[in-house]
């Protein structure tokens, strides 16, 4: 079974967290939602109750995908979290996939794991911070083992693309049909 870790903090963009978690679970993936707090207040006031606190996730945990939602405040909080950094770095060192949407690609460059001069995307409001990269205005950019996407409006397509990457086109199409998403 595909195991995915989704990490949230106060200020996380709720659509970018909840939509992927929902679609990954519809695909039959084992999804763990970890947060910096017992209750996380998202960017638009939605409160999430993570399955676990980040500090309770072993830094050498075995997940197939680390999914990082955006939301500037949430990203800034996560970047400063030492245990979260250990999780990201260990996951990266194992060659596992990392997906980052909206402001979350900043985590990848802040930690120095995204190769310079390679294709990347993010929310347009932070595009100037990717001068050392080949910035794309595309909804999704895949640069294995990294997947990046632009923002809340690309959350469904991004999650379906990740489902396809792990489980194949048929599973992704089934999930798209279940939610009546006509563009996949």
| Domain-embedded: residue 184 | no
3-state secondary structure (DSSP) of residue 88: helix
Cβ–Cβ < 8 Å for 88, 98: yes
| Domain-embedded: residue 113 | yes
| Domain-embedded: residue 78 | yes
Q: What is the pLDDT of residue 61?
A: 86
Q: What is the pLDDT of residue 59?
A: 87
Please give the sequence-ordered ranges of beta strands (E in DSSP) within 44-183, or none if there are none. 47-48, 52-53, 65-68, 97-101, 119-120, 134-135, 140-143, 146-149
Q: What is the pLDDT of residue 155?
A: 98
Has 183 been annotated as catalytic? no
Q: What is the pLDDT of residue 183?
A: 87
Has 143 been annotated as catalytic? no
Beta strands 52-53; 30-35: pairing state? parallel
Cβ–Cβ < 8 Å for 122, 148: yes
Has 102 been annotated as catalytic? yes
Give the pLDDT of the chain (184 residues) as one tens digit per residue: 999 999 999 999 999 999 999 999 999 999 999 999 999 999 999 999 999 999 999 988 899 999 999 999 999 999 999 999 999 999 999 999 999 999 999 999 999 999 999 999 999 999 999 999 999 999 999 999 999 999 999 999 999 999 999 999 999 999 999 999 998 8
Q: How many domains would you assign to the chain? A: 1
Q: What is the pLDDT of residue 145?
A: 98
Q: What is the pLDDT of residue 87?
A: 97
Q: Which of 13, 14, 42, 123 is catalytic?
A: 123
3-state secondary structure (DSSP) of residue 81: coil
Measured on CA atoms in the order 87, 129, 20, 45, is the torsion positive or negative?
Answer: positive
Q: Which of 13, 16, 157, 164 is catalytic?
A: 16
Q: Give the CATH number of the domain where residue 121 resides.
A: 3.40.50.880
Q: Which residue has the tokens 């995307």?
A: 121
Structural domain boundaries, residue 151: 3-178
Tokens of 175: 């999930």
């Amino acid at each position: 079974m595909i195991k995915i870790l989704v990490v949230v903090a106060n200020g996380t963009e709720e659509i970018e967290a909840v939509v992927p978690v929902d679609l990954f679970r519809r695909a039959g993936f084992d999804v763990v939602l970890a947060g910096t707090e017992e209750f996380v207040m998202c960017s638009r006031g939605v409160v999430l109750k993570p399955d676990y606190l980040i500090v309770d996730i072993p830094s050498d945990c075995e997940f197939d995908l680390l999914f990082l939602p955006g939301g500037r405040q949430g990203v800034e909080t996560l970047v400063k979290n030492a245990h979260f950094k250990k999780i990201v770095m260990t996951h990266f060192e194992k060659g596992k996939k990392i997906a980052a949407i909206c402001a979350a690609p900043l985590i990848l460059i802040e930690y120095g794991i995204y190769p310079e001069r390679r294709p990347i995307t993010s929310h347009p409001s932070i595009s100037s911070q990717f001068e050392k990269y080949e910035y794309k205005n595309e909804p999704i950019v895949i640069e294995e083992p990294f997947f990046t996407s632009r923002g809340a409006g690309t959350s469904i397509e991004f999650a379906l693309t990740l489902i396809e990457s792990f489980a194949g086109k048929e599973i992704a199409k089934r999930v798209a049909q279940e939610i009546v998403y006509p563009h996949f």
